[in-house]
Structure 1
Amino acid sequence: MTTPYQIPSTTHLGEVSLKISNLERSIQFYTEVVGLQVLERHEGVATMTADGKQSLVRLEELTDAVTLPVRSHAGLYHFAILLPDRKSLGLALRNLAASGIEIGQGDHLVSEAFYISDPDQNGIEIYADRPRDTWRRDADNNYIMSSDPVDVQSLFDLSENEPWNGLPAGTVIGHVHFHVRSLEESRRFYTGVLGFDVVGNFAGMSALFVSAGGYHHHIGLNIWAGTGAPVNPDRATGIDYFTIVYAGQEPLQQALEQLRQQGAALEEHDGSWFTTDPQNIRVRLITAG
């Protein structure tokens, strides 16, 4: 019997590309509110970084873009920026609070998170993980998670009198979370084709979490926009692609061969490979470095 393909445990996520309606406005938001800095800028496109080297967020301005109502289509729920420690999260929270924007929150037991939206209603999570040895699983091997209130005061105390210099080096894209048309269809793609492991089968919440290497989730999937929700039109703001980063050429080639065997469409562009998920979200596949 052939062993099913499993994504390597060293795999992680990289750059998220967003379609936006006004580049100047978005650059101002991602620098002043989120705390990223401009890495490169070309005609209608800017990449944003935390360390001055690696792009975390790519912004592409669409001509005559439309922004659809929240939860009306399959597509981005949020992408999540993972900070290296709790003090960094406290500093980021101070800056978010000073900006005056609406902030959601959740203590998820495995992590502490804050939620905002950019000017085009792209959801953003900014979070820090709790130590991995504190994460717990239930009898079905699902990570035990919650949405309790965050201890905001302790975050303010931890970051008190510390200067805000934007998001620090060590900040990465931790996960992405999508509204999907069908949990089963998306499960087949993300586990059966891409090889992620199920780490949270939350049927009561109509959600499914998958990851590589035992992380609490690299991909979140939900049907909160409705089963069979229409995909985001090409000219609508939202996500264009997210990036899966493989540790080297060999695991990347194995992933590409798996995609070919499963009949997935593949195309190469500027040294990156792309396929498409059931929501018409492009998946970029690259090697580290």
Structure 2
Amino acid sequence: MPLSLLDTAPYSVATVTLTVRDLAGLAGFYRDALGLELVSVEGHVVRLGVGAMVLLELRHEPSARSWDPREAGLFHTAFLLPSRGDLGAWLAHAAERGLRLSGAADHLVSEAVYLNDPEGNGIEVYVDRPSSEWPRAEGGTVIMRNDPLDHAGLRRAAPGPWTGMPAGGRVGHVHLQVGALEPADRFYTGLLGFDVMCRYPGATFLGAGGYHHQLATNVWNSRDAGVRPAGMAGLAEVTLHADAATLARVQARAGDPPNGEAGEALVLHDPWGTRLRLQPAASLAKTAEAGRAYTGPALG
């Protein structure tokens, strides 16, 4: 499989961490609905992914307050599939499982389907078009739209039934809810160094290395939201892999150590308290000790 822009970009999304109230229920949902594999269980933390690669970490906090969709936090975690046929197979799987989809669109750069997990965390399942086909605006940014999705064409492209998240499946991007776009731009472009790849009414799509977006921000539901209070379910952390030069530049801009935390990873918080962990790109996967006792509820 040829390298994509994500493979050569200075940033990529490694892991999304959610605080959840029903650990068994959420773990079962992501395994059944998206075909993620159980990578490890450690205490009250379940890690799911593909092979040894952790894409999603679930932290059990049964007393956590339910997230209000008007607050800052997660809009969706976007799972990128390797091929159009994979998305077609997943669409058939979603129909067979009776999954309730919340939307679907052809964004010109990608084809995407949307749903929510049982605790209201947004999910996108998508496939990219070849970057050579992405429509460009003057200045090199990309043009994105919400055109109707070709469901029938995708289903025809499926090579067979869905058998789980395919090798090469990954978190392609994370879309965040923020209180205002201007301070979000200052943080994500000024401090982290992302490029604005597309502006859409109420949203900014932020890319690195020419990719349409590894991160996005919007105020569609959360305009004027304040800092997220502690003890809330939903997004806990986004882990990004960054190349050495990018990590050094962010470190220099942020100071050492930002937010009182030191070590190999650089931990930052955006203006609404969303926690971002920047790790060297060589840290390819999180693994845990096999056989450690699980002390939470049964996973089924």
Equivalences, count? 274
Q: Which residue of 2 aligns with 1:193?
A: 191
Q: How does 1:208-247 map to 2 (within 5 A)?
A: 208-247=204-243
Render the CA deviation track for 1:181-211: whole Å, top value 9, x for unaligned: 1100000000000000111122xx1111111
Unaligned runs of at least 5 residues, structure 1: 1-7
CA distance in 2, matches of 1:235, 1:126: 28
Secondary structure at the counterpart of residue 265 of structure 1: helix
In 2 relative to 1, CA 266–252 (structure 1 residues): closer, same or farther, beyond 3 Å?
Answer: farther
CA distance in 2, matches of 1:268, 1:121: 33
Q: What amino acid is aligned across from residue 266 of structure 2 in structure 1?
A: W
- 1:239: Cα distance to partner? 0.6
Is the deviation greater in 219-228 or in 208-217?
Answer: 219-228
Q: What amino acid is aligned across from residue 228 of structure 1 in structure 2?
A: D
CA distance in 2, matches of 1:222, 1:273: 24
Secondary structure at the counterpart of residue 108 of structure 2: coil
Q: Normalising by structure 2, report the TM-score.
A: 0.86
Secondary structure at the counterpart of residue 94 of structure 2: helix
Residue 17 of structure 2 contacts residue 56 of structure 2 at CA under 8 Å; is this kept in 1?
yes
Q: How does 1:1-289 map to 2 (within 5 A)?
A: 9-50=9-50, 52-70=51-69, 72-103=70-101, 104-139=103-138, 141-159=140-158, 162-202=160-200, 205-248=201-244, 250-260=245-255, 264-265=258-259, 267-268=261-262, 271-288=264-281, 289=284
- 1:65: Cα distance to partner? 1.9
Secondary structure at the counterpart of residue 29 of structure 2: helix
Q: 4+ residue stretches of structure 1 with deviation over 4 A?
A: none
CA distance in 1, matches of 2:139, 2:242: 28
Q: Which residue of 2 aligns with 1:3?
A: none
CA distance in 1, matches of 2:254, 2:115: 34
Render the CA deviation track for 1:132-184: whole Å, top value 9, x for unaligned: 10001223543111111111111111115x13220101011111111111100
Residue 266 of structure 1 contacts residue 273 of structure 1 at CA under 8 Å; is this kept in 2?
no
CA distance in 1, matches of 2:118, 2:146: 25
Secondary structure at the counterpart of residue 27 of structure 1: helix
Q: What amino acid is aligned across from residue 251 of structure 2 in structure 1?
A: L
CA distance in 1, matches of 2:246, 2:140: 26
Percent of aligned positions that are identical? 36
CA distance in 2, matches of 1:62, 1:253: 34
Q: What amino acid is aligned across from residue 164 of structure 2 in structure 1?
A: G
Q: Which residue of 1 aligns with 2:4?
A: none
Unaligned runs of at least 5 residues, structure 2: 1-7, 285-300
Q: Normalising by structure 1, report the TM-score.
A: 0.89
- 1:265: Cα distance to partner? 2.6
Render the CA deviation track for 1:227-272: whole Å, top value 9, x for unaligned: 3213332222111111111234x543333222218x9535146x53
Render the CA deviation track for 1:25-69: whole Å, top value 9, x for unaligned: 01110000111011001111111112x111000001113122234
Residue 46 of structure 1 contacts residue 60 of structure 1 at CA under 8 Å; is this kept in 2?
yes
Is the deviation greater in 18-27 or in 88-97?
Answer: 88-97
Secondary structure at the counterpart of residue 259 of structure 2: coil
CA distance in 1, matches of 2:131, 2:213: 12
- 1:11: Cα distance to partner? 2.1
